[in-house]
Each structure stands twice: as C-alpha cells, then as structure tokens.
Amino acid sequence: MNKLGCIFFVLFATAGLAQESVSTELNGKVNADMSNLEGIYVINLKTEKAVITDQQGYFFIKAIVGDTLMFSSIQYKGLKIALTKDDFNKRLFFVKMVPVMNQLNEVVIKRYNNINSRSLGIIPENQRSYTEAERKLATASSGKLNPMGFDPILNFISGRTAMLKKEIQIEKKEMYLVMLDEMFDEDQYVGKYKIPSDYVKGFKYYAVDNEKFTKILDQKNKTTIEFLLGELASKYKEIIACENE
C-alpha cells in the first residue's frame, strides 16, 4: 500500500511540474502617471520573446512561473519582475512604472537581435520584406499588387519597369557602400591596400560593381571580404596607372 502511495505521489508531482512548465498567456497592464502608455517593451528574459504595450498600457505575453519580465522604455525607469504563481492567478497583472523626470547623462541601449518587427508579430514570419525601390517595382509590374489591370503592361511598354529595375540596382549598390563604410575606414584603404586617398571613393564604387565581391559581402565574412578587396585593389591600381600614363 505504501508503494502504491509513493507511486501516486510521484506521478501527481510530475504532472504538476509538467503543467507549470507549459507557457501560458499573462494578461497585464502598466500603470504610470502619464496618459499615453503605448510602446513600452515587455521582454521575457528567459525566452527573449517580447511584446509592446498599447495606448492604455495593456499587454499579453507568454510566460511561466519563475520567468523574469523586463519592462523598458525611454520615458520610464527600467523594471524587472520575477513571476510567481500568484501573478498568474490574478485576472490582470498590474505593473507600476515610474517616469524618468530628470535629464539623463548617458543612455545605454542593449540590443536584442531576435526582437524585431517579425518577432513582435507586426510583420508575418513568412511575408517578404521589400525595400522602397523593390516595392515600387512590385507595384508597377504586378497586377495582383496593383488593382489597375493594364498598369503592368503600360509600365513595361513605357519603360517604367526597366527604370525601376535600375533603381533597385542603384539602391543595392548604395547599401553595399554603407556596409563597406561600416567595416573599413579610409586609413585602411590607403594604408593596407595602398589606394591613393583621392581614389578611395572611386575604388569603393569599383568594388561594389563586382558581382563576386557583393555576394561575399552579403555573407559578411570579413576575412574573405578583405582577401577579395586586396585582389580588387591590385586591379584598380593597374587601372589608375594606365590612366596616369
């Protein structure tokens, strides 16, 4: 009989722990001495999932007992709360936040790479993101995106579609130039690759015109990027030498 009692107790405890480990949706509301409570980040530090409050301060987030929620906003002092069983038993979990009234000397921002418009549910996970130039082209060349059925045909005949395709290429090159500026400064081009300072800007345009190089640049492998940049620098210096003869 004692053995049966022990087995029953173990099974009961295991079932209880299993139920507690299943994430449930916590309904909460932020209270503060301000009328607009929209845009406060509520981050589950264990799962790194996040939501934002609406204008009245309401939020919904999945969590379990023992998880820690961090409340973060420029207008309010940061707050961390470790969730207890009582918090889940309440119909509404209230959080009091204190506005930041004094001037800040320094602001430290911690970046959560996996918190973005997709993880917050603003953009569906499987929906493609378009740049401005890509959006213009998609609208001009797709009858589905443009309700005016004849517009894609007219845009093709008039050359607008071809023009928009060129805009995408220009946009991509500008993006690659920004990536290079973030990875290398002018001293590296002059000191390491021996590019004359007056030709550094031209060399960067020369590099992003190279399809092989931009494919490697997309992969963000700095070692390979530096190697190919050295090869391109040698060829570019030959071009400069020929022009100056």
Q: What are the structural domains, with CATH classification, of the chain?
A: 24-128 (2.60.40.1120), 184-243 (no CATH)
Q: What is the token pair recorded at 112?
A: 């959560």
When pLDDT is averaged across residues 59-74 and rounded to a whole number, the result is 92
**Helix/strand/coil for 49:** strand
Beta bridge partners of 76: 73, 99
Q: Output the CA torsion sign for 121, 127, 128, 131.
A: negative
Beta bridge partners of 51: 42
Q: Residue type at 79? A: L
**Helix/strand/coil for 220:** coil
Q: Lowest-confidence range among 126-130, 174-178, 225-229?
A: 126-130
pLDDT for position 15: 45
Say whether pLDDT at 124 is over 90: no
pTM above 0.85, yes or no: no
pLDDT for position 30: 94
Alpha-carbon gap, residue 57 to 104, rounded angstroms: 24
When pLDDT is averaged across residues 37-53 and rounded to a whole number, the result is 91
When pLDDT is averaged across residues 81-102 and rounded to a whole number, the result is 89
Q: Lowest-confidence range among 34-38, 49-53, 115-119, 195-199?
A: 115-119
When pLDDT is averaged across residues 18-41 and rounded to a whole number, the result is 81
User: Listing from the earlier edge strand, what are the strands of the sheet with 24-31?
Assistant: 58-63, 24-31, 93-96
